Amino acid sequence: MTRVQTLIQQLQLIPHPEGGWYRELHRSQNPVQRQDSVERPALTAILFLLPASAISCWHRVIGADEAWTHIEGATLELFQCQADGTGLKREPLSASNPVQVVPANAWQAARSLGDYTLVSCCVGPGFDFLDFEMARQQPATERPRLPHPELI
């Protein structure tokens, strides 16, 4: 059994719509109100496994920041763009640079630079799939022109 298969089994991970595997670890019982008056849990946290065979395609979380923390495996290449697709940032996430934060509404994508990368992702205010947008689900004429189209 490969390390990826072992992690999927031991951590009880399931496929994530953006690519990779995940399991929710925490959903705060404390509600907060976002700037747009939508109520969400104060914080959510997941484990997220990205094998070499998968990408975390361009997506964004409306109204919430997301902190990525490297746990194990290869360096993760984390891409970020502003809501309009400009201002590309490319940040490594690794044992020597373990935390990156993606601001609310920014587009993000990721790929492992090795066999796999295991991270945790904490979202505040808490994550809800109602706030989750994937670029590939938008008509090409309506989504911003994002760099690295192979990540769509």
Q: What are the pLDDT digits (tens) for 2-54? A: 999 999 999 999 999 999 999 999 999 999 999 899 999 999 999 999 999 99
Torsion of the alpha carbons at 81, 38, 139 and 92, rounded to the nearest 10: 20
Q: Which residues contact 87 (CB under 8 A, 6 or more apart)?
A: 80, 81
CA distance 152 to 150: 6
CATH topology of domain 3-151: Jelly Rolls (2.60.120)
For 6-18, write each residue's pLDDT tens digit.
Answer: 999 999 999 999 9
The distance from CA 95 to its chain's CA centroid, rounded to whole angstroms, is: 18
The distance from CA 7 to its chain's CA centroid, rounded to whole angstroms, is: 18
Q: In this predicted structure, what is the pLDDT of residue 69? A: 99
Q: Which residues contact 112 (CB under 8 A, 6 or more apart)?
A: 50, 51, 52, 73, 74, 75, 76, 77
Mean pLDDT of the chain: 96
Per-domain residue ranges of the chain: 3-151
Q: In this predicted structure, what is the pLDDT of residue 144? A: 84
For 88-138, write each residue's pLDDT tens digit.
Answer: 999 999 999 999 999 999 999 999 999 999 999 999 999 999 999 999 998
